[in-house]
Amino acid sequence: MKLGVCVPYRNREAHLKEFIPSIGKYLESQGIDYCIYFAHQVDDKLFNRGATKNVAAKHAFEDGCDYIVWHDIDMIPEEGCDYSFPKKTPIHIATSISQMDYKLKYEEYFGGAVLFSKEQVENTNGYSNDYWDWGMEDDDLFWRCVLEGYADDTYMDYPNDEQTYLNFNGLNSFIKIDKDKKLRNLTSRSHTVSILVRAYQQEDKVNIWLVGDDDRRFCEYPIIRRPGYDWGLSYNNSRAYTAQLWDNERNHLYQWIKRYEGQWTWITLKVDSANQKVHFYLNGKESDARHGHGTQSPLSYENRLKSYGMGDWYIGTTTSARKNDINRWLKGDIGKVYVWNRDLSAEEIKDIHKNIPKNKLVLHYDFNSEQQKNSPYTAVDLTGNGLHGSIRNAELKKGKIKIPYTIIPHRIPGKLKCLPHKDEGLVKNKDGKEVWAKGETTARNERRYVLQMQQGTWDYKSDGIKQLKYELVSIEEISPNAKLINVKF
């Protein structure tokens, strides 16, 4: 089988001179028949990486290549990179890159080098032709893979039958848990809270948080809260679950994990007061900052945790916000709520979806339990501690609960060296605020991807390699195994 190496190109002559012999030598060592196609944009428009990649792929397939690798010109394979034919799904191989100290850039990263068969290109419609200048075209390609069933989307081992859960409308739904001595000192020492939840964005109140939005506002929607320097769990408009606590010096202890809206999720906060550490888990997996998916867990703290006294607890709201505040109400569903007055072990948290530890379990709501199904206005505490909650304006509903792990590309580990180049992604401005280096052009791409592609309002079947329009200026044979395709858009 013949591989087409498809590379977007403009003003990278030094990289081109190093790339051709380096990748050629590597592919020949693997016994792979290949040809390199550099799609060279020669007009004066903003660079379009997606469209140039489509041009290269189109010519590769027309020349008889059986499959392609969309490859950045500034990444050179070092070891472990398998450029073999991708049989079932597209394969991402740029998993360990020197730019990131030979680690994965972020969990959903789909750039650098990705292998596609001709059929997979046809089904995804290749790259979008609508991303100009820097950013988001690789993310868009990954989302096409998600929509075509080409992503690694495994699920937790959880009953797939129809279950009852409690729906919160984002307007006035909540549960009030009256103050009780069993809860009084719980959050100022070792404890664990775990909730099965499906949260939604509330774009009628506040937009999804975007880096390139000059008017961006940050908003936390309460899942479970203890008001007054709130302790608890939330979902926010940057599409992340969060945990927050305070110490007695009013220092904020905060953690977050990225998660798309509308996905059932098992979120767990564990506080180990003996070792003064805060742990945060999503679906039994502890947050790890190395992959850009969340803050690093555990988080250490020094002072004693804040004492709250005999206050009420709330699920779906907080009295720390006014009734009309955008951060007052949760929109979403809750299936189960657990609170322990001890820190669970990592193994207990990993298996929490199928084995609930009973030792020091203080509060237990299961909206699929027989006791709950007959009590639409009371959240029934199944521990026997009597910590029942008063349900206000929330509705019991039924449906199947599937809990996906984080959706990621199919990958084969590969180690690549990054050639020196200017960082055109996130930078900090003079005020220390993170902004896009390319400004409005990348901000526009971000809006296109997050607010249209990911929300399902962009027709990717009508925007891709099949709709590619360009003027072919010339084709140059720049080596026995490399072509420079000069184009204008």
Cα angle, residue 102 at apex, residues 100 and 105 outer, rounded to 5°: 45
Whether 389 has a pLDDT exceeding 90, the answer reads: yes
* Whole-angstrom distance, CA of residue 232 vs CA of residue 249: 18
pLDDT given for residue 425 in this prediction: 79
- What average pLDDT score do residues 354-373 get? 95
Confidence label for 430 from pLDDT (cuts 50, 70 and 90): confident
Span 83-104, pLDDT tens digits: 999 999 999 999 999 988 999 9
Q: What mean pLDDT, rounded, does the chain reach? A: 95
Residues in the chain: 489
pLDDT given for residue 422 in this prediction: 79
Confidence label for 290 from pLDDT (cuts 50, 70 and 90): confident
Span 56-68, pLDDT tens digits: 999 999 999 999 9
Counting other chains too, the contacts that 352-361 makes at CB distance below 8 Å and 24 or more residues apart are 352/194, 352/266, 352/268, 352/284, 353/156, 353/157, 353/158, 353/196, 353/266, 353/283, 353/284, 353/403, 354/157, 354/158
Residues 226-251: b if buried by 16+ CB within 10 A, e if exposed: bbeebbbbbbbbbbbbbbbbbbeeee
Span 163-198, pLDDT tens digits: 999 999 999 999 999 999 999 999 999 999 999 999
pTM, two decimals, is 0.91
Contact yes or no for 130/463 (Cβ under 8 A): yes
Neighbours of 12 (CB within 10 A): 19
User: CA distances (Å), 47 to each of 235, 359, 410, 418, 432, in order?
Assistant: 36, 60, 28, 20, 28
CA dihedral sign of residues 141, 144, 149, 153: positive
Nearest to 137 by CA among 442, 408, 421: 442
* DSSP designation for 185: T
SS3 191: strand
Contact yes or no for 181/391 (Cβ under 8 A): no
pLDDT given for residue 156 in this prediction: 94
- What average pLDDT score do residues 40-67 get? 97
Whether 426 has a pLDDT exceeding 80, the answer reads: no
pLDDT given for residue 289 in this prediction: 87
